[in-house]
Amino acid sequence: MNTRRDFLKKAGLASLALQLAPVLSWADRPVAAKAVNEGRVLRVAIMGLGSYGTRVAEAMLSCTRAKLVGVISGTPSKITDWQSRYGIPEKNCYNYENFDAIKDNPDIDAVYIITPNALHHDQVIRVAKAGKHVICEKPMAINAKKGQEMADACKAANVQLLVGYRMHFEPKTLEVIRKRKAGDFGKITFFQGLCGFTIGDPTQWRLNKQLSGGGSMMDIGIYAVNGARYMVGEEPVWVTAQETKTDPVKFREGIDETIQFQFGFPSGAVASCLSTYHMNYLDKFFLNGEKGYAEMQPSTGYGPIIGHTNAGELTQPVTNHQTVQMDEMAAILFDGMQPVVPIDGQEAIRDLKVIDAIYLAAKTGKKIGISI
């Protein structure tokens, strides 16, 4: 089996350029491919050197407009390893106590925060105060109130806040959005989002409420929440939800195992979604309209997205999500490029407002109104 590293090496810059050109056309953007492939390079320090941080770092090896130049970690051995693996100079290495000193480092433009959810709030604010652009993994915060505080801090510091919504640049996803906007599916009536897997190690941070802020909804569930919004093309106005817990030992108080939730939209469209840590093979989006449909499975995974509509298969090329995301983020930060679906702090706050409402609906058993 080919490894990610093998793929990145074989793909090369020429292949990436070819991939990005169609991505731009599906996004209905008049910007030429060279807008992504040329221009100022975004110099990034990654905070949090775990599995996803490593995935981003490996993907950035093929970026044309983004470069990994620094690290922030609480584990000295990881810093040493990344220094040798990615050629990171000592002066660009920090720990969680001293990273405020990046304000004096002109070689770092932005910090990508890839740490447990509950740590994002304080870390984003500290990076903003240091005068660096912020990229934060999703969910951006553990609730909408904290998310707004983060956005306010970035605005006050005159830095931009972006969130790692990699699916907003994925070619097949963009094609479905394009077709929906073009009216190919007619009036949208229904969306289904199924997101889940069976989680392993019970001691991991995702099952620790103090670090995660919740369970499956604060991890895999956000894909269904965000997907419902960009697939339907509207903001939900009400939500209902039901929580199911089969293992109260593994999934302690405050850690949701499975939540089913339903949305209503202003047009009358409805959505039915599921987020779980207790079932495998759940990675599916289905969008239905009066004139057609789109189905994607897998719909949000790291590997190839596979989908079709009533008109046939989606044939857009496979891209490395994180590679494209980082190059597009450079264009957003430096060129003022506007993505088809926003990836800024306000987009993240909208998701958090929905998640807050889902938790309240599950707790109370009531239909909860949403104002976004």
Count of other CB atoms within 10 angstroms of residue 341 = 18
Whole-number Å distance between alpha carbons of 167 and 283: 13
Whole-number Å distance between alpha carbons of 50 and 176: 32
The two structure tokens encoding residue 151: 């956005």
Cα 351 vs. chain centroid, distance in angstroms?
Answer: 11
- Which amino acid, one-letter code, is at 219? D
Select from 3.30.360.10, 3.30.9.10, 3.40.50.1010, 3.20.20.70 the CATH code of 167-317+345-369.
3.30.360.10
pLDDT of residue 155: 98
Which of 94, 112, 132, 138 is labelled catalytic? 138
Domains 4-166 and 167-317+345-369 share a fold: no
pLDDT of residue 273: 99
Q: How many CA atoms lie within 13 A of 262 on its CB side?
A: 11
pLDDT of residue 341: 98
Angle at 184 between CA 195 and CA 339, to 5 degrees: 60
pLDDT in single tens digits along all 372 residues of the chain: 344 344 334 444 333 444 444 444 444 443 333 345 679 999 999 999 999 999 999 999 999 999 999 999 999 999 999 999 999 999 999 999 999 999 999 999 999 999 999 999 999 999 999 999 999 999 999 999 999 999 999 999 999 999 999 999 999 999 999 999 999 999 999 999 999 999 999 999 999 999 999 999 999 999 999 999 999 999 999 999 999 999 999 999 999 999 999 999 999 999 999 999 999 999 999 999 999 999 999 999 999 999 999 999 999 999 999 999 999 999 999 999 999 999 999 999 999 999 999 999 999 999 999 999
Q: Is the dihedral of CA 297, 303, 308, 312 positive or negative?
A: negative
Let me know if 146 is a catalytic residue.
Answer: no
Find the DSSP H helices in the chain: 4-26, 34-37, 51-59, 76-86, 120-129, 144-156, 171-181, 209-212, 221-232, 321-335, 345-364
Q: In Å, what is the CA distance from 361 to each residue of 147, 190, 261? A: 20, 20, 9
Let me know if 138 is a catalytic residue.
Answer: yes
pLDDT of residue 37: 62
Which of 165, 223, 230, 277 is labelled catalytic? 223
pLDDT of residue 261: 99
The backbone torsions φ and ψ at residue 143, rounded to the nearest 5 degrees and listed phi first, read: -160, 170
Domain boundaries, the chain: 4-166, 167-317+345-369
3-class secondary structure, 93: strand
Residue 150 and residue 125 in contact, taking contact as beta carbons nearer than 8 Å: yes
pLDDT of residue 8: 39
4-166 CATH fold: Rossmann fold (3.40.50)
> Could you tell me which of 94, 98, 99, 140 has the C-alpha nearest to residue 120?
140
